[in-house]
């Protein structure tokens, strides 16, 4: 049986890998790791490296170019699905047996902005004999909340998780802050100055916590975000704006 297990590694700290994820990695024959310009040498591989047996396991690097060209993106997902499927089938042929296991490694949780979801359908359609399993991982914002000692929600609090690209429209950011007790802005680095300027205008700077490279050697958590004005952050960054029920900004606030 050909099996592919998609393992969420968590945000960066190897000790946040789940026990089930660890067992899947140790049992695998093929280790698939996505590489992008932001990753350099895959961060996912760096996290899992200590548990790999290089004499028995083969690492397969998958290129993920960071582009907005829709056709190139489509071709990339097609190629990744084909590389995974063909690698598993090749190993089956070499061993002359069907019992082959692969793992696809990625940061965070596989089903929350994970690269795997983009070629999931392609893979299952082209290689229906591959049995898929997905192991969840600790999200970056859960790790930040734990490290910063802040709750994300209580009782009937509402939580919004939004790619920061959309907050380039500051009207939308104001709507989020008026509609949700907790707003989590993912990958906020490039628009951080604009976001902080708007939060200052709304009187919400003291409600925000910024973090980057959580769980990694470069980890940085900033509770006083006023110190970050006019600074951009890296790709792996986020901002949590936490208001409690009675403090939520009224809709229509300017």
Per-residue buried b or exposed e for 45-76, using 16+ beta carbons within 10 Å of the residue's own CB:
bbbbeebbeeeebeeeebebeeeeeeeeeeeb
The answer to the question of residue 12 being in a domain is yes
Split into its structural domains, the chain has a count of 2
In this prediction, residue 248 carries a pLDDT of 61
Domain boundary among 85, 118, 138: 138
The domain that contains 28 carries what CATH number? Answer: 3.40.1010.10
Paired tokens of 20 = 């089930």
Do 53 and 37 lie in one domain? The reply is yes
Contact residues for 199 (Cβ-Cβ < 8 A; gap 6+): 177, 205, 207, 208, 225, 241
Do 201 and 76 lie in one domain? The reply is no
Do 170 and 108 lie in one domain? The reply is no
The answer to the question of residue 225 being in a domain is yes
Do 176 and 206 lie in one domain? The reply is yes
In this prediction, residue 63 carries a pLDDT of 83
Do 21 and 115 lie in one domain? The reply is yes
110-152 pLDDT, tens digit per residue, is 999 998 999 999 999 999 999 999 999 999 999 999 999 999 9
**Residue at token pair 């998958």:** 62
Q: What is the pLDDT along the chain (254 residues), one digit of tens a residue?
A: 899 999 999 999 999 999 999 999 999 999 999 987 554 458 899 999 999 999 999 999 998 776 777 888 888 889 999 999 999 999 999 988 779 999 999 999 999 999 899 999 999 999 999 999 999 999 999 999 999 999 999 999 999 999 997 667 889 999 999 999 999 999 999 999 999 999 999 999 999 999 999 999 999 999 999 999 889 999 999 999 999 865 665 665 55
- CB 8, CB 136: distance < 8 Å: yes
Contact residues for 15 (Cβ-Cβ < 8 A; gap 6+): none
Contact residues for 66 (Cβ-Cβ < 8 A; gap 6+): 36, 37, 38
Do 124 and 148 lie in one domain? The reply is no
Do 146 and 236 lie in one domain? The reply is yes
In this prediction, residue 40 carries a pLDDT of 45
Domain boundary among 87, 116, 138: 138
Q: Domain residues for 205?
A: 141-247
pTM of the model: 0.89
In this prediction, residue 252 carries a pLDDT of 57
The answer to the question of residue 155 being in a domain is yes
The domain that contains 228 carries what CATH number? Answer: 3.30.950.10
């Amino acid at each position: 049986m050909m099996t592919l297990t998609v393992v969420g590694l968590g945000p960066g700290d190897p000790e946040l890998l789940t026990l089930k994820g660890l067992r899947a990695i140790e049992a695998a024959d093929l280790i698939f790791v996505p590489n992008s310009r932001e990753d350099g040498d895959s961060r996912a591989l760096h996290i899992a490296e200590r548990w790999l047996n290089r004499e028995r396991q083969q690492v397969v690097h998958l290129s993920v170019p960071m582009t907005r060209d829709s056709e190139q993106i489509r071709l990339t997902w097609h190629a990744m699905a084909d590389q995974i499927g063909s690698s598993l089938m090749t190993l089956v042929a070499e061993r002359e047996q069907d019992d082959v296991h692969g793992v696809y490694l990625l940061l965070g949780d596989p089903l929350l902005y994970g690269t795997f979801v983009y070629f999931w359908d392609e893979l299952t359609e082209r290689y229906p004999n591959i049995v898929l399993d997905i192991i969840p991982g600790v999200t970056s914002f859960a790790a930040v909340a734990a490290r910063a000692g802040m709750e994300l929600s209580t009782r009937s609090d509402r939580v919004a998780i939004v790619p920061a690209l959309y907050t380039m429209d500051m009207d939308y950011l104001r709507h989020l802050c008026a509609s949700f007790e907790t707003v989590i802005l993912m990958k906020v680095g490039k628009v951080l100055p604009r976001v902080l300027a708007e939060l200052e205008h709304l009187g919400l700077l003291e409600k925000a916590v910024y973090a980057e490279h959580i769980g990694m050697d470069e980890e940085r958590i900033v509770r006083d975000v006023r110190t970050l004005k006019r600074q951009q952050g890296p790709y792996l960054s986020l901002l949590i704006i936490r208001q409690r029920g009675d403090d939520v900004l009224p809709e229509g606030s300017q």
